[in-house]
Structure formats: structure tokens, C-alpha cells
């Protein structure tokens, strides 16, 4: 930390402070990514090496048998598909419902705008666990338990504040002139939104889509409450169960964790700049 | 929206709101989001409160019993343990995340080579599903193949396996949470730091303010808004902790939320006290939010 303020000092001190600074960064980055690297190592080494004491630092004997086992497990395949379906549908629903609401909040004047925004944002302070009992009863009554829709509906509600918040921030950055021009040309509010705003806001909408997707992909409480049938369970529910299913097969557990995480890590690495701008959009302006 | 519609004097603004096509379409546009939120979030909370006052089971409402479920809940040792664990977890993890996150944000608040790499590394733990990171750390804490359990044991830090001791498990959960969310905290605080204009520091330096004075007189006051938002979000998030405890402790580490889950979803007998605990979480989380907004003076974005 001290290094951050050491500008304009003598050359020797600034070289030292910059070494300290990069050492600090190195430790920080290492701590952040260590578990993923270590679990990856656990997933590719042979069983005998896995159980060695002391554990090896670098892998000596590698094989891919754990991955073969994981991918040939039909319940794991099914879980990946289920996660993809639940997250995609949730993302599409949130973007559809969220973008029209966000546009109205960002651009149109109406009496209850403040109240509407407060109600929506209140959900992000909501402990989801507080409503699992009533939702379970209601979903049972309408036959939604063990269907994708139970989780999609619940996820949509809890992802909506994030979606709307981000989209409002993005919409506000767009120039108003273009919509005004469209209106002068006789477009209605809805047309101005669809023909002018939606294409212009595409990058912001895309960022929002990524964050909503990650949110839905990572959700666990609702999935673990409403889905007791393996045919609809997402990976977040199935993987912890591996711990009891493959009781001593730690390698398979590690491989499963890697498979679920790698797509997210790639997504994050590609879109890091957008994700950071999205995540911090609300907090700073708020 | 329609509560005031019957009153006569409200006619004029109703006409103004719904007579104007732009305003009318604004209501059409927010209606779907509002309906979903009211039906799937606000209504269940009200229903949950109603249920908690009855001798309810998963299938029947039962007779009205007043606050008996809450009394039963407080008498349950699992609930008290869950409350204790949740409070310790929330206070310690959020405090650590704030201090470390602020240190990191201050350190990286400048231009340097490899910024993109650091940002990417920061986001990796954040993007993990909590249950998957819990499963990963459980593997590393494992007495048979876990590297952390091995190192801690060799160094003599622990006398028994991490996973078989409740206190070590709680400490482990705190560390996993700090690992996972400190980067996020740092990111938010860094964004707040970056909007403080450099001239303010320049002026203070010219006036002879030292590092500590600049930190406490400029950085902290100007960062207050961001800090309150970040800390409140993290506090409420930690307070409802469920997935990390459930998976890391293999269902044996109690929090308030795991107590609710066990009551509502697993044991049929504890449905009513479990649901009462859900209401308890909701009310106390609400009070925490009110405390931040009213007492600490957090500004909410709706006050434009």
C-alpha cells in the first residue's frame, strides 16, 4: 500500500516500491486463482498420487479418467443441460420484462416512478430464504414442483432488480435526441423504444445478459428446494450430491467442479471489462 | 396503484396520469415487472407471516397460535446455534472483506502494467457458483486428500481435521467467503475511489496534509457513500448465508437459513418454527437495511 503513494521519490526507492507493489499483486492474484488450479491438478492426477502424503505440488502422473467418468455419467450430462435451460430462459425473461420496465424508468415521466424503483430494488435486499415455504406450498398447488418453471419463476424475480438496475444505468447514457427525432417523425413511445433504443443499447443489454446468466447459473437455494427430481436438477444441486454419491472418489468431484467452472471463467476472461463496468455502474452512482 | 382510485379528489391526477399516452405507456411498460415482483415476492412474504402465526404444516394452515412458533423457535438449540453462527460469520467476514478490500482498492488505484490480468483474476472467484467453490474448498479441507488440512496439520495449527470440528468449520466458512467476495468488495471500492478527483489530493498535499490526514479527511468521507452501499449489500448477503454452509459443512454447519431449509423442506415436524425463522430473517434483515439508510445516512438511488 505504501508503494502507491511513493511517486516522485528517488529512483532506488521507487524501484523497491514497485517491486513490493508487484509482489503484492502477485500474491493477490495467486490467492484468487489458487483453488481452481489446485482442483484442476487434483482432477488430472492418478488416484495413487491423489492420496499421497505429503501431497505433490506439481502433477507427476496425469490421466483423464476422471473426466471420462464424469462425462459418461448421464446424471451429470443431464444436469449441465438443465442448468443451461434454466439460466437461458431466466435470462431471456429478465431481459424482456426488465428492458421495457427499465426504459420507462430511465426515460418516461410518471407519478410513481420513485415508488416503482424502490419496490424493485427492495427485492435485492430480500432474503430469498424468507419465502421458500409459501412458494413451495403455492408451487405444489399448481403442480410446478420438479419442473424447470418453479426455479425459472423464482430466479427471474430475484434477478430482475439486477437486470433493471443495470439497464436503467445503460439507457440513461444514451442520447435522448434520437428518440425525440423518432417521435417527431411520428413514432409512438413503444416504437421509439424498439427501433431506436434497443439497437443502440445492445452492448449494455449484452453485459446485462451475461450477469443475469451468471446469477441464474449459480443459484442454489430455489433449485435445491423445488427440484427433487434428478431430471430437472441443475449442476449446483447435483455436484454437492456427488460428495455423497462418489464418497471417496475425490478426483471425480474435482473434475466435476472444473467442468462447471471453466465456462464461467472463460466468460469472465473474455468480457471482464464489460462485467466490471456493469457491476460498478450502480454502486458508484448510487 | 389503484388503492386511491375510489376517492373523488384523486380523479384529476388519475386523469392526468392515464389520459396522457406517454404516461399510460410508462405504466404498461413497468406493469409486467411489478406484477411478477408483487406476486412472487411480496405476496409470499405476507403469506409467510400469516403462516407463522398458525400451527401450520406444509399442507395445512392449522389453527391460530399467535407467537407460539416464535417461542418454539427460540427454544430450539439448533436455531440458537444457527443465529450465533450467522452473526459471527456476518460480522467477521464482512469486516475482513471490507478492510482487505479497501487495502487492495487503495493499492491498485493507479495506472500499472497488467491491470487487465489483475482484474480478470479478481473476477474468477466471484464468478464461481458458491456451492461449487464450497465443494472445491471442502476437497482442500478433506482429511484424506486436502492440501490445506495437510499444511495446517503439519504446521500444528489444528489438532483435529477441519471438517470434523464445528469451530474450525465456521472459521473455514469465513475464510472461503473472504476469498470469494473480497475481490468484489475491492472492485466496488475501487470504482468509488476513481471518481474522487485527483485535484483534491493535490490541494491537500500543497496544504501540507500527510498520508494519514489525506486518508481520513478526504478518502474516507468522499468514499462513504460507496462504502455504505458495498457493506450493506455484503452484510445482507452474508446474513442469509445458506449454500456455503450447506455444502462446505455437508449439511452439518447451522445458519439461520439452513434452519429454515431443514424445517421447511426436510423435516415435516419443524415446518412452523422453520417458517417462523424465515420471517425472523426477513424482519431482522429489513432492520439492518433501515439502520444503514437512516442511522448511517446511506443515500438511496431513488431520491433523485
Model confidence pLDDT, tens digit, residues B225-252: 889 988 998 999 999 999 999 999 888 8
pLDDT for res A2: 42
pLDDT for res B70: 93
Share of chain B above pLDDT 70, in %: 94
CB contact under 8 Å between B139 and A42, yes or no, is yes
Q: Is B157 or A218 the better-scoring residue by pLDDT?
A: A218
pLDDT exceeds cutoff 60 at A79: yes
Determine which of A9, A19, A24, A32 to mutate to test the interface with B (most B C-beta atoms within 10 Å): A32
Number of domains in chain B: 2
Determine which of B135, B140, B228, B275 to mutate to test the interface with A (most A C-beta atoms within 10 Å): B135
Diameter over CA atoms, chain B: 79
What length is written for chain A?
A: 286
CA distance B165 to B171: 10
pLDDT for res B79: 94
pLDDT for res A250: 82
Q: Please name the residues in contact with B149: beta carbons below 8 A apart, sequence gap of 6 or more.
A: B140, B141, B142, B143, B158, B161, B162, B163
CB contact under 8 Å between A36 and B112, yes or no, is no
CA distance A237 to B131: 8
Q: Report residue B32 CA to chain centroid gap.
A: 27
φ and ψ at residue A274, rounded to 5 degrees: -65, -45
CB B173 within 8 A of CB B86: no
CATH number for the domain including B212?
1.10.3720.10
Tens-place pLDDT, residues B185-230:
988 898 888 888 888 888 888 888 888 888 888 888 888 888 998 8
CB contact under 8 Å between B135 and A286, yes or no, is no
All cell numbers assigned to A251:
478426483
How does DSSP assign B96-122, residue by residue?
HHHHHHHHHHHHH-S--TTHHHHHHHH
Tens-place pLDDT, residues A235-262:
999 888 776 666 667 888 888 889 888 8
CB A50 within 8 A of CB B145: yes
- Is domain A66-285 classified as CATH 1.10.3720.10? yes
CB B190 within 8 A of CB B105: yes
Q: Which residue in this structure is represented by grid cell 406476486?
A: B39
CB contact under 8 Å between B130 and A25, yes or no, is no
B153 and B252 co-located in one domain? yes
pLDDT for res B288: 92
Distances from the Cα of A252 to the Cαs of A59, A262, B15, B75, in angstroms? 16, 15, 65, 42
CB B260 within 8 A of CB B277: yes
CA distance A152 to A233: 12
Residues of chain A with C-beta less than 8 angstroms from the C-beta of B282: 126-127, 130
Determine which of B25, B41, B186 to mutate to test the interface with A (most A C-beta atoms within 10 Å): B41
Flag whether B63 is in a domain: no
CB A12 within 8 A of CB A4: no
Out of A148-152, A196-200, A206-210, B12-16, pick the least confident: B12-16
CB contact under 8 Å between B139 and A282, yes or no, is no
- β-partners of residue A45 are A62
Average pLDDT for A11-18: 78
Share of chain A above pLDDT 90, in %: 22
Flag whether B61 is in a domain: no
Q: A251: part of which helix (H) or strand (E)? A: helix A250-285
CB-CB: which of A29, A131, A214 is closest to B48?
A: A131
Average pLDDT for B158-173: 87
What's the complex ipTM? Answer: 0.86
Check CB contact of A156 with chain B, cutoff 8 Å. yes
Three-class SS of residue A88?
helix
B30 and B84 co-located in one domain? no
Closest by CA to B166, choosing from B249, B227, B240, B236, is: B249
CA distance B33 to A255: 39
CA distance B245 to B248: 5
Q: Which residue in this structure is represented by grid cell 450493506?
A: B232
CB A227 within 8 A of CB A150: yes
B155 and B221 co-located in one domain? yes
Domain ranges in chain A with CATH number 1.10.3720.10: 66-285
CA distance B96 to B185: 10
Q: Tell me, what DSSP letter sits at residue B145?
A: T
pLDDT for res B10: 61
> Mean pLDDT score of chain A, rounded to an integer?
83
Distances from the Cα of A241 to the Cαs of A159, A234, B239, B250, in angstroms? 25, 11, 25, 9
Q: How far is B222 from chain A (nearest CA, A)?
A: 11
pLDDT for res A281: 65
**By residue range, what is the domain housing residue B161?**
78-295
pLDDT exceeds cutoff 60 at B1: no
φ and ψ at residue A241, rounded to 5 degrees: -65, -25
Q: Report residue B228 CA to chain centroid gap.
A: 13
Residues of chain B with C-beta less than 8 angstroms from the C-beta of A239: 131-132, 135
pLDDT for res A96: 93
Out of A198-212, B75-89, B230-244, pick the least confident: A198-212
Q: Which range, A106-120, A235-249, B68-82, is most confident?
A: B68-82
Three-class SS of residue B64?
strand
Q: Please name the residues in contact with B148: beta carbons below 8 A apart, sequence gap of 6 or more.
A: B137, B140, B141, B162
CA distance B187 to B201: 21
CB B94 within 8 A of CB B235: yes
Average pLDDT for B48-67: 84
B38 Rama sector, left if φ>0, alpha if ψ -120 to 50, beta otherwise = alpha
Closest residue of chain A to B235, computed from CA coordinates: A125
Flag whether B110 is in a domain: yes
pLDDT exceeds cutoff 50 at A6: no
How does DSSP assign A158-215, residue by residue?
HHHHHHHHHHHHHHHHS-SHHHHHHHHTT--HHHHIIIIIHHHTHHHHHHHHHHHHHH
CA distance A235 to A50: 24
Flag whether B62 is in a domain: no
Query: A11: pLDDT confidence band, cut at 50, 70 and 90?
Result: low
Flag whether B301 is in a domain: no
pLDDT for res B277: 93
All cell numbers assigned to B209:
496534509
Residues of chain A with C-beta less than 8 angstroms from the C-beta of B257: 127, 129, 221
Q: Report residue A160 CA to chain centroid gap.
A: 13
Query: B183: pLDDT confidence band, cut at 50, 70 and 90?
Result: confident
pLDDT for res B8: 55
CB A90 within 8 A of CB A222: no
> Mean pLDDT score of chain B, rounded to an integer?
85
Q: Is A179 or B90 the better-scoring residue by pLDDT?
A: B90
Average pLDDT for A209-235: 91
B127 and B263 co-located in one domain? yes
Flag whether B67 is in a domain: no
* CA gyration radius, chain A: 24
Closest by CA to B176, choosing from B120, B246, B227, B125, is: B125
pLDDT for res B255: 93
CA distance B94 to B184: 12
CA distance A88 to A119: 25
CA distance A92 to A119: 22
Amino acid at each position: 500500500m505504501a508503494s502507491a503513494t511513493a511517486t516522485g521519490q528517488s529512483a532506488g526507492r521507487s524501484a523497491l516500491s514497485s517491486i513490493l507493489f508487484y509482489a503484492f499483486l502477485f500474491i493477490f492474484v495467486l490467492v484468487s486463482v489458487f483453488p481452481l488450479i489446485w482442483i484442476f491438478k487434483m482432477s488430472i492426477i492418478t488416484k495413487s498420487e491423489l492420496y499421497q502424503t505429503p501431497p505433490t505440488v506439481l502433477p507427476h502422473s496425469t490421466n483423464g479418467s476422471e473426466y471420462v467418468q464424469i462425462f459418461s455419467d448421464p446424471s451429470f450430462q443431464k444436469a449441465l443441460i438443465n442448468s443451461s435451460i434454466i439460466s437461458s430462459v431466466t435470462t431471456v425473461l429478465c431481459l424482456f420484462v426488465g428492458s421495457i420496465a427499465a426504459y420507462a424508468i430511465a426515460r418516461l415521466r410518471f407519478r410513481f416512478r420513485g415508488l416503482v424503483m424502490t419496490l424493485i430494488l427492495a427485492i435485492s435486499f430480500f432474503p430469498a430464504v424468507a419465502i421458500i415455504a409459501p412458494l413451495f406450498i403455492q408451487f405444489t398447488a399448481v403442480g410446478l414442483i420438479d419442473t424447470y418453471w418453479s426455479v425459472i419463476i423464482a430466479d427471474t424475480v430475484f434477478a430482475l432488480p439486477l437486470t433493471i438496475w443495470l439497464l436503467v444505468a445503460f439507457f440513461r447514457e444514451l442520447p435522448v435526441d434520437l428518440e425525440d427525432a423518432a417521435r417527431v417523425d411520428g413514432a409512438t413511445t413503444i416504437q421509439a423504444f424498439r427501433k431506436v433504443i434497443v439497437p443502440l443499447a445492445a452492448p449494455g443489454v449484452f453485459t446485462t445478459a451475461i450477469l443475469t446468466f451468471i446469477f441464474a447459473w449459480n443459484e442454489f437455494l430455489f433449485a435445491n428446494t423445488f427440484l427433487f427430481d434428478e431430471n430437472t436438477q441443475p449442476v449446483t444441486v447435483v455436484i454437492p450430491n456427488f460428495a455423497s454419491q462418489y464418497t471417496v472418489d475425490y478426483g471425480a468431484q474435482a473434475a466435476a467442479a472444473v467442468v462447471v467452472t471453466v465456462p464461467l471463467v472463460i466468460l469472465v476472461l473474455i468480457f471482464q471489462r464489460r462485467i466490471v463496468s456493469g457491476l460498478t455502474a450502480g454502486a458508484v452512482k448510487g | 396503484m389503484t388503492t386511491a382510485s375510489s376517492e373523488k379528489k384523486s380523479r384529476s391526477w388519475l386523469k392526468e396520469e392515464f389520459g396522457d399516452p406517454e404516461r399510460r405507456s410508462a405504466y404498461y411498460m413497468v406493469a409486467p415487472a411489478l406484477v411478477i415482483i408483487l406476486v412472487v415476492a411480496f405476496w409470499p412474504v405476507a403469506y409467510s407471516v400469516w403462516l407463522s402465526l398458525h400451527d401450520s404444516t406444509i399442507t395445512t394452515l392449522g389453527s391460530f397460535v399467535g407467537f407460539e412458533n416464535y417461542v418454539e423457535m427460540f427454544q430450539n438449540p439448533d436455531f440458537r446455534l444457527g443465529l450465533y453462527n450467522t452473526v459471527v460469520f456476518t460480522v467477521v467476514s464482512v469486516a475482513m472483506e471490507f478492510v482487505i478490500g479497501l487495502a487492495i482498492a487503495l493499492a491498485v488505484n493507479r495506472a500499472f502494467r497488467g491491470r487487465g490480468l489483475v482484474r480478470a483474476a479478481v473476477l474468477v472467484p466471484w464468478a464461481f457458483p458458491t456451492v461449487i467453490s464450497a465443494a472445491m474448498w471442502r476437497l482442500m479441507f478433506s482429511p484424506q486428500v486436502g492440501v490445506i488440512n495437510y499444511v495446517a496439520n503439519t504446521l500444528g495449527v489444528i489438532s483435529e481435521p477441519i471438517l470434523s470440528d464445528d469451530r474450525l468449520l465456521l472459521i473455514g466458512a469465513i475464510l472461503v467467503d473472504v476469498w470469494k467476495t473480497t475481490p468484489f468488495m475491492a472492485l466496488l471500492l475501487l470504482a468509488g475511489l476513481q471518481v474522487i478527483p485527483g485535484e483534491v489530493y493535490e490541494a491537500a498535499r500543497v496544504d501540507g496534509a500527510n498520508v494519514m490526514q489525506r486518508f481520513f479527511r478526504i478518502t474516507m468521507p468522499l468514499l462513504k457513500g460507496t462504502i455504505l452501499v458495498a457493506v450493506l449489500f455484503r452484510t445482507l448477503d452474508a446474513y442469509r448465508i445458506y449454500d456455503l454452509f450447506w455444502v462446505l459443512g455437508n449439511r452439518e454447519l447451522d445458519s439461520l437459513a439452513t434452519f429454515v431449509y431443514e424445517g421447511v423442506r426436510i423435516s415435516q415436524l419443524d415446518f412452523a418454527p422453520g417458517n417462523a425463522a424465515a420471517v425472523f430473517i426477513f424482519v431482522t434483515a429489513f432492520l439492518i437495511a433501515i439502520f444503514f439508510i437512516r442511522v448511517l445516512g446511506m443515500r438511496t438511488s431513488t431520491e433523485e
